A and B are shown apart, each in its own frame.
Chain A
Amino acid sequence: MATGLTRFGRRMRWVPSVCNGRQFSTSFCDKDHNPPAKSFNLYTAINQALHIALETDSRAYVFGEDVGFGGVFRCTTGLADRFGKTRVFNTPLCEQGIVGFAIGLAAMGNRAIAEIQFADYIFPAFDQLVNEAAKFRYRSGNQFNCGGLTVRAPYGAVGHGALYHSQSPEAFFCHVPGLKVVIPRSPREAKGLLLSSIRDPNPVVFFEPKWLYRLSVEEVPEHDYMLPLSEAQVIREGSDITLVGWGAQLSIIEQACIDAEKEGISCELIDLKTLIPWDKETVEASVRKTGRLLISHEAPVTGGFGAEIAASIVERCFLRLEAPVARVCGLDTPFPLVFEPLYMPTKNKVLDSIKSTVNY
């Protein structure tokens, strides 16, 4: 039985897509000038970004549970050796304390890069993020802020993580003006977005798709580059339906796209990248072209960020829509143990929904 399950939802290697749609603000998409790029997996790309962040800013710090030893997912490997134990260090097991501490550190003008071991464990720190980090600037009339704060946390399914190693809590943080929420889909994206998040003058929660840490491999430029926040990217152009996602789910949606195209349905695929503040214009422009929208994420459908996208796009494109906005998401249950394949917004579910939306 267990082997049969792998037919669902297994992530493929991310297939690098054509660099069309919006341009990156960085040099690696600049076709005249191609700096060296080697293949790296996602955790190595994150590791590179952290090296660069610490290298380029002597006031940057990395800390979290077991981070000094490289962390559970090896993202912080080698940092303590390179930058010393005063800049890269282990914390006790106390998420609320970690994030509160990070906010204070950032308030003194430092870049505090805190790791929460799994996104499932970010909730003890929820209050610090929602009530302290997000509102510090606003309520002090811009005297203080913790803009140097970045909280990294691995999120999402891994195939067998069960209730507390699989959750996708991004929507909770998308309800908090003052925070930014960023989720990369691949190694190259992860490196550029993480560097932007670290250097952004606002507190950022950066969720990393843990399923892709080792699985996703692509060419990653070795130099220091940033990818813009709050800019979505059209990673596949099409004319019949717009598909929006982020993080690990994009590779699932892309597989569904490829299958749909075999059946003559042309899909436009958008990686949202930053969930708040999000790039409504790119999604709107696409939906104006296709007339249909499908959003897919792993988190439960009710109250997921897909709901916000759906509402905004209906407001903006009501008369242009030819079908109800579709959402293919996690089910409204806790993240299940053996029923993960059922719970997940699998390729077949996405494909099915693409077809019914197009044939509405």
Chain B
Amino acid sequence: MEKVECIVVGGGLAGLSAAYGLAGAGAEVMVLERGDYAGAKNVTGGRLYVSPIRGFYPELWEEAPFERPVARELITMMGDGAHTTFELASDHLVAGPPQSYTVVRARLDQWLAEKVGEKGGMVVPGMKVDELLRKDGRIVGIRAGEDEIGADVVVVAEGVLRLLAEPAGLAARPDEKDHALGYKEVIELPAGVIEDRWNLNPGEGAAQLFLGTVTDGMMGGGFLYTNKESISLGVVVGMHAMKADGREIESHQLLERFKELPQIKPLVAGGTVAEYSAHAIPEGGIAKVPRLYGDGYVLAGDAAGLSLNALVTVRGMDFAIASGYHAAQAMLRAKAAGDFSAAGLASYEAALRDSFVLKDLETARAYPQFMEVPRLFRQYPTAVSRLFEDVFTVGPGPTPPLVKKAWRGVKRDFLRPSTLQDAWLARKL
């Protein structure tokens, strides 16, 4: 059997980040990516938090092909007939090095693959891995078509579905209960139009999340990220919420409907749809993260369940890059020690535990359960808008005092046992 030091399965951000670290240190690494090129099959909403990963490969982020630094954060709660938007525009978001950027994966992943190549790593696109090879309980290589290739270590960075990791016994089959489904369109608009519509300084970007009627009350939400000359617009829905609901509307129609909503239509008016995609998202949180290493392998990125939906922040790409980085470091240590067994690779999981990746997932342990609260996606967005509607209303007769109006709204929509129960659950967030 032909053999290389390290095979990376999956040329997404996790796999490429691992390969970059390995190739940069002179290790022999081969990335196998089933898409026609790196990034071809990758879907993300659109925003990468760079602050957490800036310390890894600092030379990369200066020149990365990002879209726009996010200078405005918006959250829109959509109720029946009314919606409320909170908007944060802060110098701190972009002062110094910006904390986050919108990204287009086709561009970012291809660029990173190019960087891996420059460091001497081999990236093979158009190559689907069919099986992880196991021998005497350890992962010894991969099979692609007829060819079996051996490796000291296989980095399993195949993304959310675990079509390889599960049959090889490295992780459980993804459970629909722990996953959401995202639908997304990239809609082209001239840069000037984008800056006008979101009140942006030239070159700066906005990130907008939507809750409520956008998912028809199902667990999930909508997102909108401004790229250089396009916007990424999408809807995410919990898989089991969709199924349990047994509703008429097909999930992919949610995006069509979202675009037709009076709040959204003017934002996308005149745009051309350049791309459509759909993808699953792990949302099980820390409780569903499997053991991240074993004899001859490590799991990274979505394949390891490293992603976090904390309502106002959605993260996965920074975790993917960080896990790839730490996987590479652990492998280099294993190589130096000549030990590619689980013991030799254990420093990978230890490093992730010490880093923001598993710490932030631990902090967010309560989120998946909190997201089960159906009121979050139906009653509350409507109630918030209703409250503000009351506050801003001047009717024909005398207008009650402001505080009284607000209090009435709070009493009506929030002072209920169910809300208190939800608040109790929310204390852990």
A binds B: no
